[in-house]
Chains A and B, each alone.
Chain A
Amino acid sequence: MGVAELSDTALVAQVAVFHNKRAFDQLVRKYQSPVRRFFLNQTLGDEQLSDDLAQETFIKAYLSITKFRGLSSFSTWLMRIAYNVFYDHIRGEKKEVRGERIDQQHNIPLTSHLSPLTSTLKMDIYQALALLKDEERSCITLQLIDGYPIDQISRITGIGENTVKSHLRRGKEKMANYLKSNGYDR
C-alpha cells in the first residue's frame, strides 16, 4: 500500500513512530486548503499572514503529533491547533498595541493584502465578517464555510456548546442586518 492510500490515522502513526516526513507531506497537502481558508477568513483576506499562521500550525502539529490520541478526527485536532495559533497571534498583537485605544472590529486590514483575483462577493463576505467579534467570526466561518457541526466547533474552540450557539445567533443577526442594508435581500 502506498503512502497516498493510507488513512489519516495511519499517516499520523507513520509520522509519530518513524518520523516519516513523506507521510507528513501527505497530511499537509491534504489539509493545507481548509487550514489556509480558515486563516483567510479570520484575517479577512490577509494572504501573507494567513500563510504564515498556517505554516506555524503545521509545524506545531508536527512537533506535537505524538499527543494526537485519535479521540477526535485529525482535521478537528488540526483546526484546534489553528484556532490556538490564531488567538495567540491576536493576543500578541493586542500586547503590541497596549496603551493605544483601538477598535477591535477594525484592527485587521480589510483589503490591503487581498489578491487582485478576489471577487466582489468575497469582499462582501469579509466586510460582513469584519462586523463580528473574533469569536463570533470563528464560530460562523467554522459552521458556514468549513461545515463543522456545533459539537465539533465547541471542541475546536474550547467554548461551551451553548456559548457557540449564542455566538452563531448574534453573528448571523449582525450579518443579516448588514446584508439587508446593502440590498442583498432584493
Chain B
Amino acid sequence: MTDNDNILIERLFEEASRQQIADDGFTKRVMAALPDNSAAKVRRLSRLWTWFCILVGLALFFLLDGWAVLKATLLAIFNTVLTSLSVLLTTAPTADLRLDPAVLLVLLVFVLVVLPYQTARRLSTSL
C-alpha cells in the first residue's frame, strides 16, 4: 500500500462519507413497528399496587395501635397453647407410647423440609 493508494481510496469514499439519507417516513415506520409494551406496564402497575398496599397496611398498623392488638393476640395464642398442654398432660394415658422411627423421620422431613419449601414457593409466586 502506497500513499497514492491511500489517497485514491480516501478520494473515492469522500463523497460517500458526506452522504446523508433523508428520513422519508422511516422514523414513522419504526415507531409504528415498536412492540406494544402493555405487559410490562401491567407488571409495573401490579408491583406499584403491591407496594402501595404494604405502605397502607403499615400506616394503619401504627395509626390504630397495631402493637397492642398484636401483643394481645400473641398472648391469647400462648395462653390457649399453654392451657391445651396442661389439659393434655393431666388427661394423658399412662401407658407407654411407642413411636415408629420411620414415621418419626417422615414427620421430621415434612416439618423441616417440605413445609418450609412449600411456604417459600407460595411466597415467591405471590410476590
The answer to whether the Cβ of A12 comes within 8 Å of any Cβ in the partner chain is no
User: How many whole Å from B29's CB to the nearest CB in chain A?
Assistant: 7
CB atoms of B12 and A125 under 8 A apart: yes
> Any chain B CB within 8 A of the CB of A176?
yes
Distance from A114 Cβ to chain B, minimum over Cβ atoms (Å): 14
Distance of A16 Cα from B41 Cα, bound (Å): 13
- The contact of B9 among A29, A41, A63, A176, by CB within 8 Å, is A176
Q: Is B96 an interface residue (CB 8 A)?
A: no
- Residues from chain A with a CB closer than 8 A to the CB of B19 are 37, 145
Distance in angstroms between the alpha carbons of A155 and B74 in the assembled complex:
62
The reply to whether B12 and A146 form a contact with Cβ atoms under 8 Å apart is no
Please encode chain B, from 15 to 51, with 1 for each CB lying within 8 Å of some chain A CB and 0 for all others.
Answer: 1110111010011011101110100110000000000
CB neighbours (8 Å) of B26 from chain A are 28, 32, 36, 51, 54-55
Tell me, yes or no, whether B127 is within 8 Å of chain A by CB: no
Q: Is B13 an interface residue (CB 8 A)?
A: yes
For the residues of B in contact with A, the DSSP-based class is: helix
Chain A CB count within 10 A is highest, among B10, B19, B30, for B30
Q: In chain A, residues 1-53, which have Cβ atoms closer than 8 Å to a Cβ of chain B?
A: 19, 21, 24-25, 28-29, 32-33, 36-37, 40-41, 51
Residues of A within 8 Å of B31, CB to CB, are 21, 24-25, 28
Q: Which residues of B contact A36 (CB under 8 A)?
A: 21, 26
Q: A32-B23, A173-B1 are in contact. Are A185 and B8 (CB under 8 A)?
A: yes
Least Cβ–Cβ distance between A129 and chain B, in angstroms:
10
Chain A minimum-CB-distance residue to B22: A33
Q: How large is the interface on A (under 10, 10 to 19, 20 to 34, 35 or more residues)?
A: 35 or more
For A59, the chain B residues whose CB sits under 8 A away are 30, 33-35
Contact of B16 among A25, A125, A176, A180 (CB under 8 A): A125
> Is A145 a contact of B9 with CB atoms below 8 Å?
no
- Contact indicator A122/B4 (Cβ below 8 Å): no
Who on chain B is nearest to A36 by CB? Answer: B21
Best-buried of B1, B15, B16, B20 by chain A (most CB within 10 Å): B16
Give Cα A175–Cα B4 distance, bound, in whole angstroms: 13
Asked, given contacts A63-B35, A145-B16, A184-B12, whether A25 binds B27 with beta carbons under 8 Å apart, the answer is: yes
CB-defined contacts of A97 to chain B, threshold 8 Å: none
